[in-house]
Amino acid sequence: MEKRSSSPNSKVDQSSSTGTHINLRIQNGQDNRVLSYRIKQDIPLDRIMLDFCRRLGLQYDSIRFVYDGRRLKDFTTPLDLNMDDGAVIDAWTEQSGGGAALFR
């Protein structure tokens, strides 16, 4: 709860990780709200993704994290994706449609 109330630029525990760090941003597709993280390159991205959902009160299962058009898997690391510093991850909620509203 503490972290969620803190600013979007909060950093996820850096103490336990070693190596070069990278700045990443996660943008909520719904409201374009952005959270910035600084993590080590070999840290699985689910760490910050889970944090993002927790902070925004979203259900992790329902959010699709997309980087450069590709869905992110839980255990992918920034190193795997060769992510640049300042890269943006998009967080999309489920899209669904059937046209009911348009159909009379």
Partner 1 sequence: MGTLTSINRKRSDDYCKSLVSISSPIDQSYGHISKKPRLSAFANPGRNRPYSIVSRLQLYPDSKPRFSREVHAPVPVRFSRFGPCSKVEGSASLRGNMGNCLGIQLPYEKVKNGAIRSLKFFWKDSELFGGEDKLNEVIQIDDAEDENRVDVSDDLSVEEVGVVDDLGRKRKNGYRAVAISAQGVEKDLRSVDSSVVTNVSNPDEKVDAVNQMMDAMLLDEEPNALCVPAHRKLYDFAKGRDGNIKRLDLEIEYNEKCRQRFQLMRSQKKGKQIRKDVVAESFLPLTEEEEALVARALSNSSRRKVLVSHENSSIDITGEKFQCLSPGAWLNDEVINLYLALLKEREEREPQKFLKCHFFNTFFYKKLISGSDGYDFQSVRRWTAERKLGYSILDCEKIFVPIHKEVHWCLAIINKRDKKFQYLDSFKGVDNQVMNALARYYVDEVKDKSGEDIDVSSWEEEFVTNLPEQTNGFDCGMFMIKYTDFYSRDIGLCFNQGNMPYFRRRTAKEILKLRAD
**Which residue of 14, 71, 85, 86 would you call a contact of partner 1, by CB under 8 A?**
71
34 is an interface residue for partner 1 by CB under 8 A: no
The residue count for binding partner 1 (CB under 8 A) is 24
**Position 39, amino acid:** I
64 is an interface residue for partner 1 by CB under 8 A: yes
SS (H, E, C) 2-31: HHHHCCCCCCCCCCCCCCCEEEEEEEECCC
How far is Cα 3 from Cα 73, in angstroms, rounded to an integer? Answer: 24
Q: Judged by CB, which is closer to partner 1: 12, or 91?
A: 91
69 is an interface residue for partner 1 by CB under 8 A: yes
How far is Cα 46 from Cα 73, in angstroms, rounded to an integer? Answer: 8
Contacts to partner 1 by CB under 8 A: 29, 32, 64, 66, 68-73, 76, 88, 90, 92, 94-103
